[in-house]
């Protein structure tokens, strides 16, 4: 019996020794896509910070970065375009308060637009750099529409007071006119939901006039991206403009709030087009393939504040990025100081008053080809 067992064991060992080794599959470690950006305080020429501008949206005009204030900003900042030098983060100019065309004055929405409108994004028309679009979000601060207007615009598919797409026109003398307005309708089957302060917060426009609109959240708590086709006759109608929804591979979430708070369109060297989305709550840049062939790539962002004579470089607790735009190979991001959380950043005593003033910063990131793999 012992001889038999020994022979069996030896045979097994010989078979094992002669057999081909199995391929061992080693999965590569996932690539860390985290980017760190170092921001500068936006200061005017006298060295003072922007006081509570609640910056919303970012575009490029004449080589300058341009932003706009929302309805929660200090009154002196509202209904203006603010220009910032990207090289120095210097507030170079602010426009006079917007004027209003005859058609806007005669519209159902003039009362709201002329007082304290919640303007939440910007997009330059690539066909005419003197045309800029902005969009309204929260209109709960205003009174109800007139009975006639309320009847005409009650089927918004979302909030009681309609979301408004507003056309701004730059004049030769530097003034900016609110020249046209049109309400937006969301098809009921889109189930956008009634969330007055979680509406459209991102705009960007393609060369063919396709306007992309980013919604913070829908009825299911998901961020969405919609489109409108804006042609030369778009504002000749006062009826609803009904959005469509492109087939994009956006992230989906089971809980929490994951809004898109800004949009920018970027064309890669391959000719492919992507949307850059500012996912404020997640401190992420979303790289969204406009063809819908690729899933969205999520790039974690660490926001640092540049060192100065008083403070060493440090990482912000809550940056709340809001607007973004590209110039050549640089992505520029502006934050919208979130009053509830902004003081959490005041780890350096010398910067405390800047956080109390709800002053924004400007952040650059070099565009990385691995974002598009």
pLDDT of residue 31 exceeding 60, the answer is: yes
Rounded Cα distance, 219 and 217, in Å:
7
Rounded Cα distance, 96 and 310, in Å:
34
Q: Tell me the pLDDT tens digit for each residue of 357-371.
A: 999 999 999 999 999
Per-residue model confidence (pLDDT) at position 155: 97
pLDDT of residue 325 exceeding 60, the answer is: yes
Q: Which residues contact 157 (CB under 8 A, 6 or more apart)?
A: 185, 186, 187, 188, 190, 192
- Window from 12-26, 111-125, 256-270 with minimum mean pLDDT: 12-26
Domain ranges within the chain, ordered by starting residue? 36-371
Question: What's the pTM?
Answer: 0.91
Classify 36-371 by CATH class: mainly beta
Per-residue model confidence (pLDDT) at position 23: 59
User: pLDDT grade, residue 142 (50/70/90)?
Assistant: confident
Q: Which residues contact 28 (CB under 8 A, 6 or more apart)?
A: none
Q: Tell me the pLDDT tens digit for each residue of 88-137.
A: 999 999 999 999 999 999 999 999 999 999 999 999 999 999 999 999 99
Residue of higher predicted confidence among 6 and 207: 207
Phi, psi dihedral angles at 109 (to 5 degrees): -110, 5
Q: Which residues contact 297 (CB under 8 A, 6 or more apart)?
A: 33, 286, 287, 371, 372, 373
Among positive and negative, which fits the CA dihedral 59, 61, 67, 68? negative
pLDDT of residue 254 exceeding 90, the answer is: yes
User: pLDDT grade, residue 261 (50/70/90)?
Assistant: very high
Q: Which residues contact 30 (CB under 8 A, 6 or more apart)?
A: none
Rounded Cα distance, 124 and 256, in Å:
32
The mean predicted confidence, pLDDT, of the chain is 93
pLDDT of residue 3 exceeding 60, the answer is: no
Among positive and negative, which fits the CA dihedral 6, 11, 17, 20? negative
pLDDT of residue 161 exceeding 50, the answer is: yes
Per-residue model confidence (pLDDT) at position 303: 98
User: pLDDT grade, residue 209 (50/70/90)?
Assistant: very high
């Amino acid at each position: 019996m012992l001889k038999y067992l020994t022979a069996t064991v030896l045979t097994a060992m010989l078979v094992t020794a002669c057999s081909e080794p199995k391929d061992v599959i080693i999965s590569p470690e996932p690539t860390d896509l985290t980017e760190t950006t170092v921001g500068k305080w936006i200061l005017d020429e006298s060295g003072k910070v922007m006081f509570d501008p609640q910056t919303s949206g970012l575009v490029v005009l004449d080589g300058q970065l341009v932003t706009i204030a929302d309805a929660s900003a200090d009154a002196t900042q509202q209904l203006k375009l603010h220009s910032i030098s990207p090289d120095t983060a210097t507030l170079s100019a602010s426009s006079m308060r917007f004027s209003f065309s005859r058609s806007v004055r005669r519209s159902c929405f003039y009362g709201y637009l002329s007082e304290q409108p919640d303007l939440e994004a910007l997009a330059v028309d690539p066909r005419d750099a003197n045309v800029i679009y902005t969009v309204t979000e929260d209109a709960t601060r205003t009174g109800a529409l007139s009975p006639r207007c309320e009847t005409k615009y009650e089927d918004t598919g979302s909030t009681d007071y309609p979301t408004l797409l507003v056309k701004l026109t730059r004049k030769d003398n530097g003034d900016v006119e609110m020249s046209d307005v049109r309400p937006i309708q969301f098809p009921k089957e889109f189930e956008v939901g009634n969330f007055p302060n979680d509406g459209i917060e991102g705009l960007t426009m393609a060369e063919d006039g396709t306007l992309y609109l980013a919604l913070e959240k829908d009825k299911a708590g998901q961020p969405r991206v919609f489109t409108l086709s804006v042609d030369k006759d778009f504002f000749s109608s006062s009826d609803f403009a009904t959005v469509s929804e492109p087939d994009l591979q956006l992230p989906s979430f089971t809980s929490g709030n994951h809004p898109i708070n800004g949009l920018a369109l970027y064309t890669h060297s391959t000719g492919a087009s992507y949307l850059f989305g500012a996912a404020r709550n997640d401190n992420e840049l979303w790289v969204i393939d406009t063809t819908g062939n690729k899933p969205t790539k999520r790039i974690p962002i660490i926001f640092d504040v540049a060192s100065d004579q008083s403070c060493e470089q440090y990482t912000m607790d809550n940056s709340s990025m809001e607007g973004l735009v590209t110039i050549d190979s640089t992505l520029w991001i502006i934050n919208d100081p979130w009053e509830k959380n902004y003081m959490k950043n005041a780890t350096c005593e010398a910067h405390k008053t800047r956080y109390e003033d709800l002053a924004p910063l400007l952040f650059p990131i070099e565009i990385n080809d691995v974002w598009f793999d």
